[in-house]
Amino acid sequence: MFVRAKPYTANGTDNSRPSPDHVCGSRPRIQNSSGGCFQAARGGHQPRATPGLRGRRAAVNLWLRFDRGSWRVDVTDVPVAGVGMTPFGRHAERTGRDLFAEAATRAFDDAGVDREAVEEVFFGNFMGEFAETQGHQGPLAAEMAGVDAPATRLESACASSGAAIRYGVERIRGGADVVLVGGAERMNNLSTADTTEALAAAADALWESRAGMTFPGAYALMANRYFELFGGDREDLAHISVKNHANALENDLAQYQRALTVEDVLGATQISSPFGLYDCSPISDGASAAVLVSESYAETHGLDTPVRITGTGQGSDRFALQDRESMVSTPAAERAGERAFAQADIGPNDVDVAEVHDCFTIAEVLALEALGFYEPGTAIGAARRGETTADGDLPVNLSGGLKAKGHPVGATGCAQLSELTKLLRGDHVNSDVVSDATVGVTHNAGGTVASCVVHVLEADG
């Protein structure tokens, strides 16, 4: 077998629960003086009482010890002036450039900002060379958006437009007033086999793809290892799919506006055990965009910007799954979350709503644990217990998630930003279920979470 992952152990034994030291990780993390991983930094929600949820908060010290030296927390909030996305689904007759032109137009209309004001463009795309034999997409994206500004394409597999947002945030913090970010992907013009092969380029070509590994197979390995260590079963995963499809029912931008039952999910065609068809996100076409501005620009131009990006973080991990210390933890997401939370001066218990990268049902579980919402081994039953449903303590993927909203990989990260911005502003179809929400988080992962970008969004209270 090609996977040679070490057992998920604590103190040398294959325990079902890791020790606190293992949970905190072997690399430096945000710590308080007593060595804890999280500590309350400011007022916010009281610790959640639901089973398995963590009672820790992110520590925000004046100086943060990261993997390389000490970085000072001194950041400004970045207002989200406008967002836009196309409906996700099958658009066989449309090109990626056409889709992005629509998304950008929607974002500019939403923002009330002139295209001429844009100073830079950051655009996410993963498989353009495979699907449309089109590289060098940065200037193309700017042209299709009607913008005359420096433009850069970002590629980080399925986290490509999440990375584009992060670059845009840093550019605003560096002195720009208006930046356009977004992403697009066209996938349905390829056969399913060709799409699967193109997506496999996000894995290790020498040690994973050549051995025949695909992403359904890789995440199935992660799910089975999780079951072995912590318990859980296919029905727990099925509840995640049912939840996310329920959230997408009224979302006109979602690819699938169809309710599922647990029986539907369990009876679906098997893809890679334990996954059936409804455990997997679909092949999608679509685009997303957002206009980010400086606080001074928003004030000077009288823009209504109730939602701001207050924290952003990015992390990486060993590229190949078999080279990682564990198949059931995602350190890239942990690091990205820690850094985003630290910038925003919040902790997991301050978060009201989250959009996470549920490319497969197990991926939602791993994301919730990596972000500190749950202890390792406990998020598997969150949807089944009703904790992450629309009326739960922490609603997750109210957009429908990748599972039901769709997953045009280069557009997904900015689509999360678009949907969460509307949820917090109050103009999303599901805003009523989180009418008092002020803090949201997006989690956008690439590959088997070899890369991850996390953003914290906050709305005026």
Supply the residues annotated as catalytic. 158, 407
Of 81, 122, 140, nearest to 413 (Cα)?
122
Single-letter amino acid code for the residue at 260: L
* C-alpha–C-alpha distance, residues 128 and 157, integer Å: 11
Cβ-based neighbour number of residue 443 at 10 Å: 31
Residue 179 phi, psi (nearest 5): -135, 140
Alpha carbons within 13 angstroms on the beta-carbon side of residue 332 total 23
Q: Which residue has the tokens 């989200």?
A: 80
Please tell me the distance from the alpha carbon of residue 415 to that of residue 428, in angstroms, as a whole number.
13
Q: Give the whole-angstrom CA distance, residue 88 versus residue 185.
A: 10
List the structure tokens of 457: 């969004």
Q: Are 151 and 120 in contact (CB under 8 A)?
A: yes
Angle at 222 between CA 319 and CA 237, to 5 degrees: 135
Residue tagged 């942990």 (tokens): 334
Give which of 31, 37, 72 is closest to 55, Cα–Cα. 37
CA distance 58 to 334: 12
Pairing of strands 63-65, 70-72: antiparallel
Pairing of strands 178-185, 120-124: parallel
Rounded Cα distance between 217 and 18, Å, is 25
Distance CA 79, CA 69 (A): 29
Task: Give Rg (Cα) of the chain.
Answer: 20
**Do 96 and 186 meet the contact criterion of CB atoms below 8 Å apart?**
yes
Cα of first residue to Cα of last residue in the chain, in angstroms, is: 53
Q: For residue 311, with 0-12 CB atoms within 10 Å meaning exposed, 13-18 middle and 19 or more buried, which class applies?
A: buried
The DSSP secondary-structure symbol of 361 reads H
d(CA 114, CA 117): 6
